[in-house]
Homo-oligomer: A and B are copies of this chain.
Amino acid sequence: MGVIVQKYGGTSVGSVERIQAVAERVRAYRDQGHQVLVVVSAMSGETNRLETLGRSMSGRPPAREMDVLLASGEQVTIALLSMALQELGVEARSYLGDQVCIRTDGNFGRARIEEIDTAPLRKDLERDVTPVIAGFQGVDSQGNLNTLGRGGSDTTAVAIAAALGVDECQICTDVDGVYTADPRIVDDARRLDLITFEEMLELASLGSKVLHPRSVEFAGKYRVPLRVMSSFEEGPGTLITVEKMNMEQPIVSGIAYARDEAKITMSGVPDIPGIASKILGPVGRAPIEVDMIVQNTGADGLTDFTFTVKRGDYERALELLTEVQTSIGARELSGDNRIAKVSVVGVGMRSHAGVATRMFDALAAENINILMISTSEIKISVVVAERYLELAVRCIHSEFDLGEAAVSEESVA
């Protein structure tokens, strides 16, 4: 028994029936003795519909008005879910961003939460009322509506959980937890019972779509126990926590991948100070997001410089680099837009040497050529030709014994 924040995403509240199912679920938690606060997104498809309306008004709709437009989506959901709850005999009360004073910083479309007034929520909990709060929105010090951008409702849920100091923040979604790898690629991918914030953050950043990195970061910072679980099925989901309680820490927790990558290589670049900024400067100002960057120094005072971008930015980046090539006198410019990134993540690898070697060996055994390598303290990423993506994920998953069969001994949270 405790106080729980539950967040339901667009798919989970995508129809009248699904909203009713969410209401039933919230009631079931209450019947178990929990106090529940609910955060909801707009019904699935609604945000896209509104965005299309906005874009039909203007090629570049003013950001302030786009936020007013988009924020109406969550307003519909909180009203409908509150009605559904009351229909089940659960006293519920909807809250818009400004009604719980979710104070944001005024950056339209990608605002950050600065403060939350928890007084009305605490009062509701005392009176056994279930608050239903609009995710994704807040209001700045000028009284303008702000939206929080991608993953915004997750962030709202975590922020409320942090502000109230609740026992758990549950992100209820269309998957039943975080997996060792994408189950669509790896047959025996296994749901993790536990994962650390750091690992989750790397997985999220590396392309696992379960949680937005921002909400994970937020939860980690304020130590809010975060659980990813299914909106539709029973099950414990995956608890994201500060420290793993398992005795036997696995070396690798999961494997993430990102398709839709592209790489660009500038070869025969004069190896002089400031050259990296000459190459990446124009790309960054475009603005095009650069992910991995690798530079190898050659013997002849020349160097090769490679970086990756999203596939959609590839053509534009190549154009910019063509101009740069001439100005710095580089020998050759080449690129490849059919690549993918595969990463292994695990806090355990901090204390275990040889993770990289095992990963590279596994890939070599399948004749998969590694095009680029990048590492951090708890992650190793490699770039491979896109056609090898699935094979790479599977052989690494198997190399580190992440599958169903391998974990009978793992303790459960």
Interface residue ranges, A against B (CB under 8 Å): 16, 19-20, 50, 53-54, 56-58, 61-62, 64-66, 68-69, 71-73, 75-76, 78-80, 82-84, 86-87, 93-94, 96, 98-99, 143, 145
Contact = CB atoms under 8 A, between A and B. Distances in A.
A69 B94 CA distance: 10
Given A82-B62, A99-B143, A76 B87 contact: no
B79 A75 contact: no
28 contacts: A20-B57, A53-B76, A53-B80, A54-B79, A54-B80, A54-B83, A57-B84, A58-B84, A58-B86, A62-B83, A64-B93, A65-B78, A65-B83, A66-B79, A66-B83, A68-B78, A68-B82, A68-B94, A69-B75, A69-B76, A69-B79, A69-B80, A69-B83, A72-B72, A72-B76, A75-B75, A96-B145, A98-B98
A25 B213 CA distance: 45
A395 B396 CA distance: 91
Given A69-B76, A76-B69, A78-B68, A56 B16 contact: yes
Contacts of A99: 143
B57 A80 contact: yes
B83 A61 contact: yes
Contacts of A16: 53, 56-57
Contact of A68 (B50, B73, B75, B84): B75
Contacts of A94: 64-65, 68
Contacts of A62: 82-83, 86
A54 B64 CA distance: 28
Contact of A86 (B65, B78, B79): B65
- 8 closest residue pairs by CB, A with B: A69-B79, A57-B83, A68-B79, A72-B75, A72-B72, A58-B87, A65-B82, A65-B79
Contacts of A72: 72-73, 75-76, 79
Contacts of A56: 16
Determine which residue in A64, A73, A80 has the highest number of CB atoms from chain B within 10 A of its CB, and name it: A80
Contact of A57 (B19, B61, B75): B19
A98 B65 CA distance: 16
Contacts of A19: 57
A341 to B, nearest CB: 38
